[in-house]
Every structure is written in C-alpha cells, then in structure tokens.
C-alpha cells in the first residue's frame, strides 16, 4: 500500500522539488524478482549461441574424423585360369586381411567382378572401369586382385590399387602363392605393398609380456629368444618384452653348457626366469698354447717319439746312399794277360831280331 503526501497547489507551483514516495515490502520483492529474470535472460542470450557453436564444432569434429579415414573398396578376386573354389578362397583371405586396416574405411563389393563390370558395360578391368566401380561405392581407392598360373604352373596373385580420384594405378605387385591352403602370407605382403603397414589396434599393446632373465652367480651371458639374440645379462638381469604366448629361451656363456627352456608369457605379465649354468669340464693344455676349453688338446707332432725316430732313420738312409754314390776306386786292381805270338810275323818283332832290328 502506498502513502503519499501532496502540498497545496500553490506550494507546488512555487517549489519544483520531487515529492518523496514511500514503497512497501511487496514492491521490493517484485523488483528483485524482475532483476533476476532480466539477468537470466541476458545469460541465456549470451550462452545460447556459444552452446550451439560448441555442438556444431563437436559434430564437425566427428564428421572430420570419419572423413579422415580413406575409403578403400576391396573387389572380389578375379581369375579365369583357376577354379571357382581357388578364386573364392583367395577372395575370402583378402577380405579377412583387409579388415586389419582399422585406419582405413574398408568396404567390399556386393557382387563378383563380372557383375560389377556388367553394370558399367565394361569388357576389361582397366583403370577407367575400376574407377567407375569405385565411384559407385564412393571410394577413393579400389583394390583389384587376380589369381593366375604362371608359365611354370605356379599360382601367383597379381594385385594393384587404383586411385579413382586421379584415374591411375597407384601401386601394383605380384605375390607367389606356395599353396592355396596358406595364402595368408602372400595376401599380407601384397596389401602391405598396396596400402602400407597395418595400423595395429590399441588392444595389441595388451598382448605384450615381459621375460626377465636372472643369472645365478652374476656374469655376462648371451640371451636368445626364439633363436634371436635379444641382449646380455647384467647384475640385475635382463628384461625383454615379447608377445604373449610360448617362447624358447636360450642362454649361452663361454665355458658353460648351453641352457635352454620353454617359457609361457601372458599379456601384461612379467615372467622371471632364474638360470644356473653348469660349467664345462676343463681339459689341461700341456703345450700351453691355449687349447679351447672343453675340447681335448692334441699333442703336437714335434713332441711325439716316433716322429724323431723316423727323422733319424731317414737321415741315416740318406747318408748311406750318398756315400755309395760318391765314394772313389782308390785300390789298384791286378790280373793276368795272355800273350801269343804268330810265327809268321815273328821276324817283324825287334825282340826276335826282326826287320826293325837290322
């Protein structure tokens, strides 16, 4: 309720001062409520566009993340020189291995390559035809594969990837198949050439465990895991990260017997393996020449008795042979000579007073 005092008209005309007005408690509450509503309206006006902008940016980020994945179309394997079973087996393996590329948006053709080509009236799976098929699936890349037999009769997988945006062959490869029972390695190698290495999923890190090798007595030893040298032991041992599963552990140290064992490693676990090496038997080396430990040392030839005996016999034999060849005939030889005289020619001999003696 409002109370107001008003002076007389004369006083009002002569005095222009504002007449004081006194308000009640209800009016004050009304004013506070009105101020709060006004403030709320101002805040709503200011924050509304910001919230809408944030939602728009979030949606755009999600769309951009999806768009960042390049879409790749995987066609079914072609092959006119092989059976349908062989061709289908290669196609299935190609699809399974392509799904490992989680950094790419992998899509598969709905029908066989012949059906896809028939839709666009193509007679040859060339770049232009495969580009049209890729555009149908809104894919930037298309992977084409063909299973054939080479002149020697061996199966091989011809693969190429087409860049539909540039209408060209981006990459190609030929991978031999050992057998259709195990086409995995050939398909994996081909996809690595065409699409690059596989971006391992985040859960792959959880499939890693650790093997810690501790050597009793200390020292340095070589550690092999699955026949691959992974390091040397130290005072605190050796820690090696390996994939989860069964592995062959081998420890080698000079002068000790080789130690081998099987270890099972679980994902995220640490397997501590204590190793005690057994020393090999040492064989004395009488020559002091440093024979290898653990191996018998043979006596040198010059220290064997029969060697010098043979040398002596040989020297004596050579001396005797030389003396026989080089010795001289110093002693005179004697004998008898028989002489006969021809009576018819005796007169010629001066001894008998022949013609020479006249």
Q: What is the CATH number of the domain that holds 129?
A: 3.40.50.10610
Mean pLDDT, residues 74-92: 86
- Please give the tally of structural domains in the chain: 2
- How is the beta sheet containing 270-275 ordered, strand by strand? 238-243, 208-215, 270-275
Q: Is there a single domain that holds both residue 77 and residue 139?
A: yes
The residue from 246, 275, 304 where one domain ends is 275
Give a yes or no: residue 65 inside a domain.
no
Residue 292: inside a domain, yes or no? no
The enclosing domain of 212 has a CATH number of: 2.60.40.1120
In a domain, 287, yes or no: no
**Three-state secondary structure of 162-190:** EECCCCEEEEEEEEECCCCCCCHHHHHHH
Reply yes or no on whether the pLDDT at 102 is more than 60: yes
Residue 226: predicted pLDDT: 94
Cβ-based burial of 136 (10 A; exposed 0-12, middle 13-18, buried ≥19): middle
pLDDT tens by residue, 126-168: 898 999 899 999 999 999 998 888 888 788 888 999 998 888 9
Cα gap 280→60, rounded to integer Å: 71
The predicted pLDDT at position 195 comes to 87
3-state secondary structure of 238: strand
- pLDDT recorded at residue 218: 78
In the structure encoding, which two tokens stand for residue 351, read together?
């001894």
Measuring CA to CA, which residue among 146, 70, 145, 75 is closest to residue 108? 75
Last residue of a domain, one of 275, 303, 325: 275
Smallest CA-to-CA distance from 271 within 216, 223, 210 is with 210
The answer on 114 and 97 residing in a single domain is yes
The predicted pLDDT at position 281 comes to 77
Structural domain of residue 177, as residue ranges?
A: 71-195
Q: Whole-angstrom Cα distance, residue 203 to residue 318? A: 86
Give the range with max mean pLDDT: 33-47, 78-92, 198-212, 320-334.
Answer: 78-92
Mean pLDDT of the 201-210 span: 64
Last residue of a domain, one of 243, 275, 307: 275
pLDDT exceeds 70 at position 260: yes
Structural domain contains residue 280: no
* Residue 354 pLDDT class (50, 70, 90 cuts): low
Closest CA to 243 of 198, 189, 204: 204
Give the per-residue pLDDT at 68: 61
Percent of the chain residues topping a pLDDT of 70: 63
Q: 279-311: per-residue pLDDT in tens? A: 887 655 555 554 445 455 566 666 666 777 788
- Least-confidence region, from 15-19, 182-186, 218-222, 277-281: 15-19
Using CA atoms, how far residue 116 sits from 52, 78, 112, 113, 144, in Å, is 44, 12, 6, 5, 12
Looking at residue 207, its pLDDT comes to 79
11 lies in some domain: no
Query: Structure pTM?
Result: 0.41
């Amino acid at each position: 309720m409002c109370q107001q005092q008003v002076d007389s008209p004369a006083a009002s005309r002569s005095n222009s001062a504002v007449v004081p007005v006194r308000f009640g408690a209800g009016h004050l509450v009304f004013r506070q409520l009105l101020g709060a509503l006004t403030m709320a309206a101002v805040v709503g006006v200011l924050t509304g566009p910001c919230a809408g902008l944030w939602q728009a940016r979030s949606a755009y980020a999600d769309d951009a993340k999806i768009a960042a994945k390049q879409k790749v179309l995987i066609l079914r394997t072609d092959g006119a020189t092989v059976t349908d079973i062989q061709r289908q087996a290669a196609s299935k393996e190609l699809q399974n291995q392509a799904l490992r590329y989680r950094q790419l948006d992998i899509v598969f053709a709905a029908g066989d390559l012949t059906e896809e080509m028939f839709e666009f009236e193509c007679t040859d799976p060339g770049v232009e035809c495969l580009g049209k098929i890729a555009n149908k699936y809104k894919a930037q890349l298309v992977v084409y594969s063909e299973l054939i037999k080479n002149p020697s009769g061996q199966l091989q997988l011809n693969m190429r990837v087409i860049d539909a945006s540039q209408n060209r062959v981006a990459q190609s490869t030929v991978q031999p198949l050992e057998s259709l029972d195990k086409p995995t390695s050939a398909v994996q190698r081909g996809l690595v050439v065409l699409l690059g290495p596989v971006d391992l999923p985040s859960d792959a890190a959880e499939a890693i465990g650790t093997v810690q090798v501790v050597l009793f007595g200390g020292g340095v030893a070589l550690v092999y895991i699955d026949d691959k040298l992974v390091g040397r032991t130290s005072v605190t041992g050796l820690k090696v990260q390996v994939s989860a599963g069964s592995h062959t552990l081998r420890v080698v140290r000079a002068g000790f017997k080789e130690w081998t064992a099987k270890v099972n490693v679980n994902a995220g676990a640490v397997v501590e393996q204590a190793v005690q090496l057994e020393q090999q038997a040492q064989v004395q080396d009488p020559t002091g020449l440093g024979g290898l430990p653990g191996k018998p040392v043979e006596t040198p030839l010059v220290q064997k008795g029969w060697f010098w005996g043979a040398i002596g016999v040989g020297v004596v034999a050579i001396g005797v042979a030389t003396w026989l060849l080089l010795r001289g005939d110093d002693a005179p030889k004697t004998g008898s000579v028989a002489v006969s005289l021809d009576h018819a020619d005796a007169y010629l001999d001066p001894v008998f007073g022949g013609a020479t003696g006249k």
